[in-house]
């Protein structure tokens, strides 16, 4: 019975998501005009297009939770003219079709015009980069932070090979980032790696991959992630304090002010799950990082709570939001049926 309910929710959710997306993006275009052109775009064709937004799932999980869907949807809405590419490790060439039929939620996000879902194949990704010898040697079963480390490595190789912007799946896009080569400051002297962008084959990322391997220490969380970005940047420039809300330049890299992505700092992450007197306008930000890794309590977006996160969903990923509402109502209906 539980399984049936899950299946029902899954199908319902996907169906609602698909319809809401069609309605909100193209009124009058329900079912009739699918984005045909997209069907013929191979991974190679997509990846040679400039200015992509890249998301990664480095666990084998195949059913993205709502926050991930919201993150992808918000990017798809803000960057209508760019491909949004979601790489999932759990997919291989053959499973996408199976997965779509068993849980169409994935199918629904991939139905968005500019969203593409491809398998993440690290062995191929790391080829022809400084990471390859390390990847062949590392014993993944002994690495306690492997999901993070493999993600840190993959994002460097992706953006080096293909160019574009990398985003964590808990980043909600709210307006386009106006620069191409950039790192996101978490503070004056600290760079995150949760979001960054570069031209294809940018020397900085090549140097990051070399440093990744030379200073590899899998026992220290973030040593290949934000600490890597920070020590590379420190090696290039003196990281002086930010003045007002102005970005900095280090050679030809923009070091974007903490307000751009972290208007709410990680110490204050719970504020996203609180009720605010009014919705902040986040005028100085391009995206909001929701700090999901801090969220051990598994706080989530609760419908009707009027929390900041609910208002963010409503505004920046309305398709995801309304399909959650529909799924919740479907759920209620089912339990009513069960008890009656
Ligand atoms: C997956 O696709 C790649 C490239 O198209 C191909 O080289 C590989 O053999 C395929 N793998 C499987 C298991 O079909
Ligand atoms: C990797 O580590 C595991 C656990 O310590 C061990 O059983 C396995 O043999 C190692 N694999 C290789 C290829 O060294
Ligand atoms: C950073 O500042 C120190 C002293 O303030 C100076 O010696 C050094 O050359 C500077 N480094 C760079 C990369 O500008
Ligand atoms: C950026 O700076 C690096 C090092 O200073 C230089 O090698 C590279 O040519 C520059 N790239 C552009 C596009 O200016
Ligand atoms: C933020 O932007 C909106 C619209 O662009 C504007 O009305 C508002 O005054 C701005 N708020 C601040 C604090 O600058
Ligand atoms: C979301 O939060 C509610 C209330 O705290 C909880 O009951 C529910 O299990 C959570 N859902 C998920 C998917 O974690």
At 292, list the tokens.
Answer: 């999901």
Nearest CA to ligand 1 atom 7: 93
pLDDT in tens, 28-40: 333 333 343 566 5
Q: Are strands 248-250 and 190-198 parallel, antiparallel or unpaired?
A: unpaired
The percentage of residues in the chain with a pLDDT greater than 90, rounded to a whole number, is 64
Q: Which distant-in-sequence residues (6+ apart) come within 8 Å of 213 by Cβ?
A: 130, 131, 133, 134
Check residue 122 and give its pLDDT.
95
Q: In the structure, what pLDDT confidence band is assigned to residue 92 with cuts at 50, 70 and 90? A: confident
Ligand nearest to the CA of 251: 4
Which of 113, 38, 122, 139 shows the shortest CA–CA distance to 88?
122
Q: Degrees (nearest 5) of the Cα angle 173, 176, 177?
A: 100
Nearest CA to ligand 5 atom 10: 283
Mutational pocket test of ligand 6: of 65, 105, 300, 303, the residue with most ligand atoms within 8 Å of the beta carbon: 300
Check residue 235 and give its pLDDT.
94
Question: Is it the case that residue 153 has pLDDT exceeding 90?
Answer: yes
Nearest CA to ligand 4 atom 7: 203
- Structural domains in the chain, CATH included, are 2-339 (3.90.550)
pLDDT in tens, 280-304: 999 999 999 999 888 888 888 999 9
Check residue 19 and give its pLDDT.
46
136 or 36, which is more confident? 136
Q: What is the mean pLDDT of residues 86-108?
A: 71
Cα 238 to averaged position of ligand 3 atoms, centre (Å): 6
Q: In the structure, what pLDDT confidence band is assigned to residue 110 with cuts at 50, 70 and 90? A: confident
**Long-range contacts formed by 132-139: CB under 8 A, 24+ apart:** 133/213, 134/212, 134/213, 134/216, 138/218
Check residue 97 and give its pLDDT.
65
Query: Could you identify the atom of ligand 3 that is nearest to the CA of residue 235?
Result: 13
At 264, list the tokens.
Answer: 């709410």
pLDDT in tens, 324-336: 888 888 877 777 7
Q: Is 240 in the pocket of ligand 3 (CB under 6 A)?
A: no
pLDDT in tens, 210-244: 999 999 999 999 999 999 999 999 999 999 999 88
Cα 80 to averaged position of ligand 5 atoms, centre (Å): 23
Query: Could you identify the atom of ligand 5 that is nearest to the CA of residue 281?
Result: 1
Q: Degrees (nearest 5) of the Cα angle 75, 77, 83?
A: 60
Check residue 340 and give its pLDDT.
58
Check residue 40 and give its pLDDT.
59
Cα 94 to averaged position of ligand 1 atoms, centre (Å): 9
Cα 291 to averaged position of ligand 4 atoms, centre (Å): 32
């Amino acid at each position: 019975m539980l399984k049936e309910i899950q299946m029902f929710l899954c199908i319902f959710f996907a169906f609602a998501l698909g319809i809401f997306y069609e309605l909100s993006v193209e009124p009058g275009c329900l079912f009739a005009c699918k984005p045909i052109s997209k069907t013929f775009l191979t991974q190679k064709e997509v990846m040679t297009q400039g200015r992509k937004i890249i998301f990664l799932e480095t666990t084998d999980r195949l059913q993205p939770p709502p926050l991930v869907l919201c993150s992808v949807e918000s990017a798809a809405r803000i960057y209508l003219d760019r491909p949004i590419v979601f790489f999932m490790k759990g997919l291989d060439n053959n499973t996408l079709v199976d997965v779509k039929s068993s849980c169409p939620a994935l199918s629904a996000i991939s139905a968005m015009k500019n969203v593409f879902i491809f398998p993440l194949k690290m062995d191929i990704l790391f080829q022809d980069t400084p990471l390859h010898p390390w990847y062949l040697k590392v014993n993944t079963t002994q690495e306690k932070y492997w999901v993070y480390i493999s993600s840190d490595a993959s994002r460097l190789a992706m953006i080096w090979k293909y160019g574009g912007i990398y985003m964590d799946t808990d980043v909600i896009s709210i307006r386009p980032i106006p620069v191409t080569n950039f790192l996101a400051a978490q503070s004056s002297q600290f760079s995150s790696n949760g979001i960054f962008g570069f031209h294809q084959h940018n020397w900085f990322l090549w140097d990051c991959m070399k440093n990744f391997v030379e200073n590899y220490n899998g026992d220290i969380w973030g040593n290949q992630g934000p600490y890597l970005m920070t020590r590379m940047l420190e090696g290039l420039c003196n990281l002086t304090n930010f003045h007002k809300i102005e970005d900095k330049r280090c050679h030809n890299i923009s070091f974007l002010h903490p307000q751009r992505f972290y208007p709410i700092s990680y110490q204050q992450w719970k504020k996203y799950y609180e009720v605010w007197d009014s919705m902040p306008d986040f005028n100085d930000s391009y995206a909001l990082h929701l700090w999901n890794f801090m969220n051990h309590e598994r706080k989530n977006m609760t419908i009707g709570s009027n929390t900041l996160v609910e208002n963010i969903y409503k505004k920046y990923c309305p398709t995801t939001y309304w399909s959650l509402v529909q799924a919740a109502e479907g759920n209620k209906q089912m339990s009513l049926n069960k008890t009656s």
